Amino acid sequence: MHQVIEQAAGTPRRNPVVSAGTAAAAERHVEPLAVQVTTAAHDALFSGNPKVIGAVEDAAKWRGLDLPDGISVLLFGLEDGVGRIAHPGDDADAAVVDLALPPTDCLGLFAFSDSAEQKLTTLSRWWSELSPGPAPEISRFTPGAKGNSAEHQALRLLVDRMLRERRAAHQNVVRLQRALGELREDHETSQSVLAMLRDCLSRYQLPTVQCTLTLQPGSITVAPPAGAPAFTIRQKLPVHSQGLAAIALHVAVGRKRSNGRLLIKLTARESGTMLISWAIPFDHLTNGWNLLEIPSVIVGARQTVDLTIRWDGDSRFAPQLSLSDQHIGPGGQLQMEGGRQARQALALQIWTGLPGSRRVVSTFAEAVDGQIELAVGKQLFVSPAKLAQAKLLEPAPNRVDFDILSFKEDGRTLQLHPVTGLVSHAVIPAACPAGVRRILATIKTDCPEAPWVEYALMAVPAGTPANFPTDQKPAPAGAVVSEWLRLAPNTPGTLVLAFDDAPSQTLDLHLATRMPPGVADAFAWAQWKSLQIELA
């Protein structure tokens, strides 16, 4: 767009004018095959600061113009079909680089002469070809009445455009602040609702997940044919997708294990999207039920779920999956590779929960006895308020310059930071009621730069003074101690403390973390995400 600014009745006025002579002169110019910029001017060209571009023919005008601080002036020249952008003071032989994209935050292309306008027209055409948006306006200034010189016109226009951009930026900031406030309000409301739900689940001893359906294993199993490098089976689940929290497969494995993986995935039939998948090495599968948990309980519209299982690898000693003798109606039978349909369905446990709730546990979990029975008896969680009552026993806080034990309000978790060469040991008084059968701790070293950290649990009768057992210190009388679990950084895991006989009294729960000898303790943010208690 070309613009002529002239004086009329003492007030500047803008009239779009393209004279015949100017248009003809522009047509005679050849568009530049390339545009270059001096290395000294490159940063100014692409910085976020406002800038204006003129032509080298008007260099004298720009030298006499007193512009506000922060505004960069760049001059465009054209010779032999090659454009050059530089500072007014750059040498003619200064080093240049090729310009592939137009600059940013340009207030306009200003011309004080016909020849300058012709050069800037060529730059504007090049700009339009490479930019998705419009090129900056070309403004031509001509001398007016006294007190309204071309320089004064340029300054007024420059200030007007800066004010216009500042006003637009302020409006964008206000709009973004309003959107951010609404988003923060929605987030805080959701967090409050989830916190109340967690407290209710703990208060009323409601399970976070429950077993919705169990198809008990029969005497028949399915496995890939001998010598087959891969084998696939499919089955429609008898429940819909909404609220799906986990599935369990009943597996039979022999003494010998071959190399391979069991690839499992759940797919929503109506939308064709994959809900979740697992890749489990054969040697990680155990006899009995193998639970596959979904990190976040599935939300969204109810859809039909297809279960696909594929054996991939050496099939000679591959694990076998049990089939159930229970009839679940037409359409629920197992589909073999090649289209053959079995009379039975897979032996399954299907677990459901509150849609959208997080299950921060390992994707594939193994129980101590080879079978996870989360729905047996009552389940309750140690509440955040109880976690906040934890007390540090070892080491003394003054031995290090960071907090060894801290309660994280935002995540409602307890952090027990390990210390090099020592065992970090804390206790939650009277955390476990009588009749506890098993304690499951969800743990995670919440930093990808952390070292490997080891976790352990111990339960003792309430009020019993106890040190965490080491090679030099035996476990106190009546204590039940877990194995040490070594966990990679930024990886969730589950630590299990099982009781042979349910105790008849309240227990203190002791937590411990440590690191392998000689490992630095930087970034070892060892966090206890949740403590789940199962009662007999």
What pLDDT, on a 0 to 100 scale, did the predictor assign at position 22? Answer: 42
Mean pLDDT of 22-36: 54
Q: Which domains does the chain have, with CATH numbers?
A: 2-166 (no CATH), 210-375 (2.60.120), 380-535 (2.60.120)
Mean pLDDT of 243-256: 88
What pLDDT, on a 0 to 100 scale, did the predictor assign at position 139? Answer: 87
What pLDDT, on a 0 to 100 scale, did the predictor assign at position 154? Answer: 78
pLDDT bracket for residue 3 (50, 70, 90): very low
In one letter, which amino acid is 502? A
The phi-psi region of residue 412 (left if phi > 0; otherwise alpha if psi is between -120 and 50; otherwise beta) is: left
According to DSSP, the residues that pair with 457 across neighbouring strands are 511
- Cα torsion through 124, 125, 129, 135, rounded to 10: 30
What pLDDT, on a 0 to 100 scale, did the predictor assign at position 295? Answer: 75
In one letter, which amino acid is 414? L
The whole-chain average pLDDT of the chain stands at 80
Distance, CA of 534 to CA of 440 (rounded, Å): 8
* Of the candidates 239, 206, 233, the residue with the CA atom closest to the CA atom of residue 335: 233
* Of the candidates 161, 116, 148, 119, the residue with the CA atom closest to the CA atom of residue 5: 148
Query: Given a cut of 70, is residue 376 above it in pLDDT?
Result: no
Classified as helix, coil or strand, 290 is strand
Contacts of residue 134, Cβ cutoff 8 Å, sequence gap at least 6: 1, 128
Mean pLDDT of 174-199: 80
Query: Given a cut of 70, is residue 370 above it in pLDDT?
Result: no
pLDDT bracket for residue 147 (50, 70, 90): low
3-state helix, strand, coil in the chain (%, to 5): 20, 40, 40
Query: Given a cut of 70, is residue 5 above it in pLDDT?
Result: no
pLDDT bracket for residue 2 (50, 70, 90): very low
What pLDDT, on a 0 to 100 scale, did the predictor assign at position 94? Answer: 84
Query: Given a cut of 70, is residue 7 above it in pLDDT?
Result: no
**In terms of pLDDT, which residue wins out, 229 or 524?**
524
**In terms of pLDDT, which residue wins out, 281 or 385?**
281
CB-CB contact of 153 with 141 (8 Å): yes
Mean pLDDT of 170-186: 85
Query: Given a cut of 80, is residue 141 above it in pLDDT?
Result: yes
Determine which of 154-168, 190-204, 311-325, 415-429 has the lowest per-residue pLDDT on average: 190-204
Provide the H-helix boundaries in 2-113. 20-28, 39-46, 59-63
Distance, CA of 91 to CA of 99 (rounded, Å): 18
What pLDDT, on a 0 to 100 scale, did the predictor assign at position 207? Answer: 56
pLDDT bracket for residue 459 (50, 70, 90): very high
Classified as helix, coil or strand, 521 is coil
Which uninterrupted H or E stretch holds 183?
helix 150-203
pLDDT bracket for residue 454 (50, 70, 90): very high
Query: Given a cut of 50, is residue 13 above it in pLDDT?
Result: no
What pLDDT, on a 0 to 100 scale, did the predictor assign at position 479? Answer: 92
Q: Exposed, middle or buried, 15 (CB in 10 Å: 0-12/13-18/19+)?
A: exposed
What pLDDT, on a 0 to 100 scale, did the predictor assign at position 494? Answer: 83
Query: Given a cut of 60, is residue 150 above it in pLDDT?
Result: yes
pLDDT bracket for residue 15 (50, 70, 90): very low
What pLDDT, on a 0 to 100 scale, did the predictor assign at position 356? Answer: 65
Query: Given a cut of 60, is residue 525 above it in pLDDT?
Result: yes
335-363: pLDDT as tens digits = 888 778 888 889 999 988 877 665 544 44
Query: Given a cut of 50, is residue 92 above it in pLDDT?
Result: yes
Residues making up the chain, counted from first to last: 536
CB-CB contact of 213 with 238 (8 Å): yes
Determine which of 30-34, 85-89, 427-431 has the lowest per-residue pLDDT on average: 30-34
pLDDT bracket for residue 202 (50, 70, 90): low
What pLDDT, on a 0 to 100 scale, did the predictor assign at position 234? Answer: 92
pLDDT bracket for residue 204 (50, 70, 90): low
pLDDT bracket for residue 511 (50, 70, 90): very high
In one letter, which amino acid is 440? L
Mean pLDDT of 414-423: 93
pLDDT bracket for residue 198 (50, 70, 90): low
C-alpha neighbours within 13 Å on the C-beta side of residue 197 = 14
pLDDT bracket for residue 415 (50, 70, 90): very high
What pLDDT, on a 0 to 100 scale, did the predictor assign at position 156? Answer: 80
How distant is the alpha carbon of residue 197 from its chain centre? 24
Query: Given a cut of 50, is residue 474 above it in pLDDT?
Result: yes
